[in-house]
Structure 1
Amino acid sequence: MEMRELTVVAGSFVGFKLLQAGVSPVLSSALTEGYGRLPPARLNEWNSRTVSTVHALIVGLFCLYILRYDDAVNADPVWGDPNLVKLNVAITCGYLLYDLVLLASNWRAMGDSFFVCHHLAALYAYGYVLSRGVLPYFANFRLISELSTPFVNQRWFYEILQHPRSDRLVVANGVAMTVVFFLVRIAVMPTYWQSVFATFGTPAFERLGLAAQVAWIVSCICLDVLNIIWMYKIARGCYRVIINARKARAKASNGDGSKQNYMNNHTD
């Protein structure tokens, strides 16, 4: 790994830590009064999710730019020029290390074995990208998934602030979260794996060596299994939110109708 990538990883780690400890409390307090009423454990998670949203927007948009404009990576997905991709991956690795440290230091309140597995699998695969510059297209393609993170975090913000689940904003975010999560994590699987299988047996694939091949394939399988599990949970939650919102509106509508009937019966 070159000094540039190491510097970006370290800078990303420190930058996200400063955002979590210094910027998020000030910004969140200014945006909502509910932030100041949260217990310490919830404040910590709130700040971490703010950082998660910022990271997702930076990396996700950078990812789309690379997919659209980096011709070298698109032309040679296994050995194309990895410079821009390595920068994006280095930012993500710094964030993943920051988040692992945060989870470990607040395990009782924030610990999640799925997230730990996700982070370790990603770091394992991205290590090859940073150290050898291989698989730039595939590494960058995986980062599309980060575009679903802001919606996931927003759902948590609404919940912790005790917004009614029937609220239109909550329902709209839940539907958007489900749709975007499906599009960037599940719907892209056939295209991604088709590209993977297309490299099998090629000279470019053979040049990777067994260790890189295993790291690539195994980590992708682990990440996609986790994505499927999360998709199932999100879809179930979205379904319940929609059903409960319909019931709440129906109940309110019936209540208004009963009240109107009562007034009509007593004013005739």
Structure 2
Amino acid sequence: METRELTVVAGSFVTFQLLFSVVSPLLSAVLTPAYGLVPANKLTEWNSRLVSTVHALVVGLFCLYILCFDDKVNADPVWGDPTLVKLNVAITCGYLVYDLVLLACNWSTMGDGFFVCHHLAALYAYGYVLTRGVLPYFANFRLISELSTPFVNQRWFYEMLKYPRSHRLVVLNGVAMAVVFFLVRIAVMPPYWASVFATFGTESFARLGLGAQVAWISSCIALDVLNTIWMYKIARGCYKVLTGAAARRSKAAPEPEPLAAPPPSPPQDAVKNHAD
């Protein structure tokens, strides 16, 4: 790994740590008065999810820019010029390291084996991008999935602020979350794997070597299995929200307003997402 990539990874780690420990608490207290009513054992996750949203927006939008305008990467998905992709991947690696440290330090309240597996699989695969500059198109393509993260986090924020599930903002965000998650994590699987299979047997694929080939394919399989599990949970939650809202409308009951009171703990099956 070149000095530039190491610097970006380290800078990303420090930046996200500052966002978590300094910026998020101050900004949340100003913009959301109910932040002070969030239970102490949930404040860490609140700040973590705000940082996660910032990372997802930065990396996701950068990813779209590369997909639309980086002709060298799109022309040669295995060995194309990785300059911009390596920058985006380095930002993500810094975030993943920050999040793993955060999970380890707060395992009793935030620990999740799925996320540890997700982060380690992503770091394993992205390590080849940073050290050898290979597979830039495929690495960047995987980062499209980050665009669903803000909706997942917003769902959790609404629960912490005690918005009832029938509230129109909760319903709209739930539908948007399910739709976007499906589009950027599930619907992209066929074209992504079609592109992967198209490289098999080519000279470009052979040049990767067995190590990179195994890291690439195995990590993609692991990530897609996790995405499928999460999609099932999100779809189930969205169905409950929609059917619950429809039942309440049929009774013509007035829609309750969110309460500014200490919120209950979220349900055990609530989807958590620090990053993809």
Give the alignment's TM-score, normalised by structure 1: 0.94
Q: Report the equivalent of 1:111.
A: 111
What do the CA deviations read for 1:45-89 (whole angstroms, capped 9, x no partner)? 000000000000000000000000000000000000000000000
User: If you compute each CA radius of gyration, which structure gives the higher value, 1 or 2?
Assistant: 1
1:90-169 superposed matches below 5 A: 90-169=90-169
1:62 corresponding residue in structure 2: 62
After superposition, residues 247-262 of structure 1 pair within 5 angstroms as 247-253=247-253
| Equivalent AA in structure 2 for residue 195 of structure 1 | S
| Runs (4+) off by over 4 Å | none
Partner of 1:261 in structure 2? none
Partner residue of 2:234?
Answer: 234
Deviations 1:7-64 (A, max 9, x none): 0000000000000000001111111111111122211100000000000000000000
Amino acid at match of 2:219: S
Output the CA distance in 2 between the equivalents of 1:118 and 1:35: 29
Q: Report the equivalent of 2:22.
A: 22
Larger RCO (CA within 8 A; separation ≥ 6): 2
Letter in 2 for 1:108: S
Matched residue SS, 1:245: helix
Aligned to 1:258: none
- Distance in 2, matches of 1:251 and 1:134, equals 58
Question: How many Å separate the matches in 1 of 2:135 and 2:204?
Answer: 10
CA distance in 1, matches of 2:35, 2:84: 37
Q: Which residue does 2:207 correspond to in 1?
A: 207
Post-superposition shift, 1:250?
1.6
Deviation at 1:92, TM superposition (A): 0.1
Residue 193 (str. 1) matches residue 193 (str. 2): yes
Q: Which residue of 2 aligns with 1:170?
A: 170
- Matching residue of 2:52: 52
Q: Look up the SS of the partner of 1:81 in the other structure.
A: coil
Structure 2 residue identity aligned to 1:241: V
Shift of 1:253: 4.8
TM-score normalized with structure 2 length: 0.91
- The DSSP-based 3-state class of the residue aligned with 2:252 is helix
Comparing 241-250 with 133-142, which one deviates more in the overlay? 241-250
Cα RMSD (Å): 0.9
The one-letter code of the counterpart of 1:118 is: H
User: CA–CA distance in 1 between the matches of 2:23 and 2:204?
Assistant: 45
For 1:133 and 1:101, how far apart are their aligned partners in 2?
Answer: 26
What are structure 1's unaligned runs of at least 5 residues?
255-268
Deviation, structure 1 residue 229: 0.3
Q: Structure 2: how far apart are the matches of 1:14 and 1:168? A: 37
Q: Distance in 2 between matches of 1:39 and 1:3?
A: 42
Structure having the larger proportion of residues in helix: 1
Question: How far apart are the structure 2 equivalents of 1:34 and 1:245?
Answer: 24
